[in-house]
Amino acid sequence: MEKALSTAGVYVERTLALIKPDAIDKAGEIEEIILRSGFTIIQKRKVCLSPEVCSDIYAAHYGKMFFPSLTAFMSSGTSVAMVIARDQAIAYWNELIGPANSVKARETHPVSLRALYGTDDLRNAVHGSGTFSAAEKEIRIIFPDASIDPIPSSQSAISYLNKYVIPTLLSGLTELCKKKPTGPITWLADWLIANNLNKPNICEDFLDKP
């Protein structure tokens, strides 16, 4: 996963959010909090994770005493998996979910998701990717067809349209008004294909050389 260029306001990040089996009945409430916190839910699905998949997601904890209990718990019921996005998504999501131990979270981060919906350090309601590489890996495990490239911000998209798309489209519409063809939509489509200023120039002589 490429690091988002948040300081320039160009890209937003994607990360994985899991609502664990112990909080599945509160999934709607948690999703509302996610949206109110400035995230966009890109993809969502209910999953019953196998112990093997749980082991892959929590591979960083392999060998620790709680690892068997963690994988058994995570594979014990239905979870909700989401790809969520915003600027600095990984940092903001981990701030929103709070410390891993829900008891401590209620003391230090009382409005965090783990404080509100978790029970202890195992049944702590939600999971979040800790790093860029972890987010990339975990998204690919649960959403193998998902795109994980940074998403252009709205301002970046507007700038691109203003620079590369709108000038060509306006020229085509101007010509359309002048010509007044009988099939305006088809005519405009053909004109845009033939007059696309952003189409790369290909040197046929070069391609023909042996």
Q: How far apart are CA 128 and CA 14, in angstroms?
A: 11
Residue among 194, 195, 187 nearest 167 (CA):
195
Q: How far apart are CA 99 and CA 14, in angstroms?
A: 21
Cβ burial of 138 (10 Å; 0-12, 13-18, 19+) is buried
**Could you say which of 86, 109, 114, 127 is catalytic?**
127
At 176, is the secondary structure helix, strand, or coil? helix
Q: How far apart are CA 150 and CA 89, in angstroms?
A: 11
**Is 127 in the active site?**
yes
Structure tokens at 138: 């975990």
By annotation, the residues acting in catalysis are 127
